[in-house]
Amino acid sequence: MSHVHTDEPDSPAHRGRVLERLLEEAGVVTGAELDAFLDRLPATSSPANGARIVARAWSDDEFRQRLLDDGAAAIAELGYSVGGGPAVVLRVVENTEQVHNVVVCTLCSCYPLALLGPSPSWYKSDAYRARVVRDPRGVLAEFGYFPNEHVTINVLDANAETRYLVLPRRPAGTDGLSEEGLAKLVTRRGLIGTAAV
């Protein structure tokens, strides 16, 4: 069985990272500009899809439990799929007062593209992939997020067979918001775990 989860020089993921790095080094584009462009891509592959899923989970406890039990089946109820073929499993992990989850793919950049849109440049960077495993609190601090010391940080390594979606904690004071209003609060960084909502 062949896997696209590779960091070989001839792999598409590796070539894409090299091209991005060269464009950034040449001053043609910045990582932030690339991320802004990716955020504007069509809704078929968008962080808005993941945000809608989270908003439903925040609004419907039964859906939330189904999402945590079987992510792919639950998102199918809303018309979404993980993408990547039938063998790809979606694991949804919930942030709580005691646990914060953050996702990485240490080998390349496996990621639920259909739910989060194209992965941001920092997610694919060698620095993020190496450092978040060794120093998750330090990396989160660089993103401006500072979990309390008593919070356990789980670093989840995505791969060709398993993709992750973080279910962030619902912000306080949002009880009166509709699902649409809640979805507007959710960011791609929150769905990866490098930010709170």
Task: Please give the full DSSP string across 92-113, using - where no structure is assigned.
Answer: EEE--SSEEEEEE-SSS----H
Euclidean distance between CA atoms 146 and 196, whole angstroms: 9
Whether 128 and 177 have beta carbons less than 8 Å apart is answered as no
pLDDT tens for the chain, residues 1 to 197? 333 334 455 555 566 677 778 878 888 778 787 777 666 555 567 899 999 999 999 999 999 999 999 999 999 999 999 877 778 899 999 999 999 999 999 988 788 988 998 889 899 999 999 999 999 999 999 999 999 999 999 999 999 899 999 999 999 999 999 999 999 999 999 999 999 99
Query: Three-state SS for 79?
Result: coil
pLDDT at 38: 62
Q: Are 114 and 120 in contact (CB under 8 A)?
A: no
Is the domain defined by 43-192 classed in CATH 3.90.330.10? Answer: yes
Write down the pLDDT at residue 18: 79
CA 152 to chain centre: 19
Residue 132 near residue 102, CB atoms below 8 Å: yes
CB 129 within 8 A of CB 105: yes
**Residue position matching structure tokens 């120093």:** 135
Using alpha carbons only, what angle is made at residue 133 by residues 65 and 186, rounded to the nearest 5 degrees? Answer: 40
Catalytic residues: 105, 108-110
Per-domain boundaries in the chain: 43-192
